[in-house]
């Protein structure tokens, strides 16, 4: 075991796979010599060579497209899109090509590629460095969408993603790279040091997809969330003085619906949280499934707390972000009702 922040855990996963499998290649903007703008690939080029870890032109469609060709050939590219806000030029190659390759060729060609990209706000990134576009991908048949909330999960899920024979979108909540975050910008930032989930094995391990993690246990309420919002949920439940089942989904597609149903049937109350914009967000999908499967167990309407349906504003970042204060208020109101 070693103490790692999320950046180190991701780097460790990449290092393990580069060492184990010569078919794993890493490329993206600034990931080579420099090691990535968030340092996730720092030192990997030096250790594994220029042919294994290299820089690309600034062309996300090109990065994904080349990876689709390599993956069809039989390699396992693990590419980085510098910010999820810049994934859109690669969207067609992801949705129409990578996600469809196995289906349209009846298994003759497949797309075992992993796309890593930082998501979410809370770092003063404004409209172009803060987005959470997960719902644009969970809506697409043929691609898996994964989002860890801590270093331990990040490493195990990333290794799993690279080994998976289907395309995987691996979303990295950038606000969690250096430490958990309660969603209150006035509290000094904490690091992963000394945190139980910052204890990460140095070698190879995997975490299965389609398995939510029960972050905290309680009988008052089920809070369904992922990424940064897991930590916000924990702080808010505490502030509201209730004990909640906080489910960290980790894998949005495929979804661990059974764990969700089990918890909601137990508590009878459910809140869905995400940082992304509300309308047609992943929360809508969750709520539809929950009402279908748990309607008679529900004691109150399902509540969702999300980012507003606006672009992510720069100066008003904390008014946009569904932080501790907003979530606490929503919990309190819900428990009164």
Partner 1 sequence: MNSPNDTATPKTGQNRSKLFVPEPPFRPGDTPDFSHIRIPADHSPGRPDPMVDAYDTEPQATGLVRVLRLDGTIAGEWNPKLDADTLREGLRHMMLTRCVDTRMFSMQRQGKMSFYMKSAGEEAVAVASAMAINKTDMVFPTYRQQGILMARGWPLKELMCQCLSNAGDKLEGRSIPVLYSVRDHGFFSISGNLGTQMIQAVGWGMACAYKGEDGIAVAFTGEGATAEGDFHYALNFASTYRAPVILNVVNNQWAISSFQGIAAGQGKSFAFRGLGFGLASIRVDGNDFLAVYAATKWAAERARRGGGTTVIEHFTYRKEGHSTSDDPTKYRPKSEPDAWPFGDPIERLKGHLIVLGEWDETRHEELHKALTIEVRESYKEAEALGTLATPSKINPASMFEEVFEDVPTHLRRQRQEMGV
List contacts with partner 1 (CB under 8 A).
Answer: 25, 51, 56-57, 59, 61-62, 65-75, 77, 89, 92-93, 96-97, 100-110, 141-142, 144, 164-166, 210, 254-255, 257-258
Task: Print burial letters for 301-327: b (CB count within 10 Å at least 16), e (below 16).
Answer: ebbbbbbeeeebbeeebbebbbbbbbb
Region label for 289, one of left (φ > 0), alpha (ψ between -120 and 50) or beta (otherwise): alpha
Q: Extract the tokens encoding 157.
A: 């899920």
What is the smallest separation between the CB atom of 188 and partner 1, expressed in angstroms? Answer: 42
Whichever of 59 and 193 has its CB closer to partner 1, that residue is 59
Select 75 or 325, whichever has its Cβ closest to partner 1. 75
Which active-site residues does the annotation give?
129
Burial of 107 (0-12, 13-18, 19+ CB in 10 A): exposed
CB of 69 or CB of 185, closer to partner 1:
69
Comparing CB distances to partner 1, the nearer of 20 and 110 is 110
Structure tokens at 330: 């929503």
Minimum distance of partner 1 from residue 221's CB (angstroms)? 25
CB of 56 to partner 1, least distance (A): 8
At closest approach, how far in Å is the CB of 22 from partner 1? 9
Q: Comparing C-alpha atoms, which of 84, 37, 36 is closest to residue 275?
A: 84
Whichever of 204 and 211 has its CB closer to partner 1, that residue is 211
Q: In angstroms, rounded to a whole number, what is the distance separating the alpha carbons of residues 313 and 333?
A: 27
Q: Can you name the residues that pair with 117 across neighbouring β-strands? A: 171
Instruction: Determine which helix (DSSP H) or strand (DSSP E) holds 270, and give its type and residue range.
Output: strand 270-277
Task: Specify whether the CB–CB gap between 300 and 333 falls below 8 A.
Answer: no
**CA dist list (Å): 261 to 287, 291, 295:** 11, 10, 10
Whether a cis peptide bond, with omega within 30° of 0, leads into 254 is yes
**What minimum distance in Å lies between the beta carbon of 99 and partner 1?**
9
Strand partners, 191: none
Q: Which residues of 110-141 are buried (b: 16+ CB within 10 A; e: fewer)?
A: bbbbbbbbbbbbbeebeeebbbbbbbbbbebe
- Residue (159 or 327) nearer to partner 1, CB: 159
Report in angstroms how near the CB of residue 89 gets to partner 1 at its nearest: 7
Q: Beta-carbon neighbour count of residue 106 at 10 Å?
A: 7
Closer of 163 and 199 to partner 1 (Cβ):
163
Q: To the nearest whole angstrom, how small is the minimum distance from the Cβ of residue 63 to partner 1?
A: 8
Dig out the tokens for 284 from the structure: 């809508």
């Amino acid at each position: 075991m070693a103490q790692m922040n999320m950046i180190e855990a991701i780097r460790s996963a990449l290092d393990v796979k580069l060492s184990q499998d010569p078919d794993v290649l890493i490329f993206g903007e600034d990931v080579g010599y420099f090691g990535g703008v968030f340092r996730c690939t720092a030192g990997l080029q030096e250790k594994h060579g220029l042919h294994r870890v290299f820089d690309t032109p600034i062309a996300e469609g090109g990065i994904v497209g080349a990876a689709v060709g390599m993956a069809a050939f039989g390699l396992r590219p693990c590419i980085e899109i510098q910010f999820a806000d810049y994934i859109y030029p690669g969207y067609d190659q992801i949705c129409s090509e990578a996600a469809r390759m196995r289906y349209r060729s009846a298994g003759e060609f497949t797309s075992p590629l992993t796309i890593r990209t930082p998501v979410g706000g809370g770092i003063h990134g404004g409209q172009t460095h803060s987005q959470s576009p997960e719902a644009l991908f969970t809506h697409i048949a043929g691609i898996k969408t994964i989002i860890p909330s801590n270093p331990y999960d990040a490493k195990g899920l990333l290794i799993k993603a690279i080994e998976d024979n289907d395309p995987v979108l691996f979303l990295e909540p950038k606000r969690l790279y250096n430490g958990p975050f309660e969603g209150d910008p006035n509290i000094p930032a904490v690091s992963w040091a000394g945190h139980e989930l910052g204890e990460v094995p140095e070698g190879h391990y995997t975490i299965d997809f389609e398995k939510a993690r029960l972050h905290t246990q309680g009988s008052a309420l089920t809070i369904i969330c992922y990424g940064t919002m897991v930590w916000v949920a924990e702080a808010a439940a505490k502030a509201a003085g209730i004990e909640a089942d906080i489910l960290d989904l980790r894998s949005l597609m495929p979804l661990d619906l059974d764990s969700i149903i089990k918890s909601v049937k137990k508590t009878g109350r459910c809140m869905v949280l995400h940082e992304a914009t509300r309308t047609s967000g992943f929360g809508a999908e969750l709520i539809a499934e929950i009402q279908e499967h748990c309607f008679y167990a529900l004691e109150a309407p399902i509540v969702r707390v999300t980012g507003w349906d606006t672009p992510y504003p720069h100066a008003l970042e904390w008014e946009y972000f569904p932080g501790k204060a907003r979530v606490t208020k929503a919990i309190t109101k819900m428990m009164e009702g």
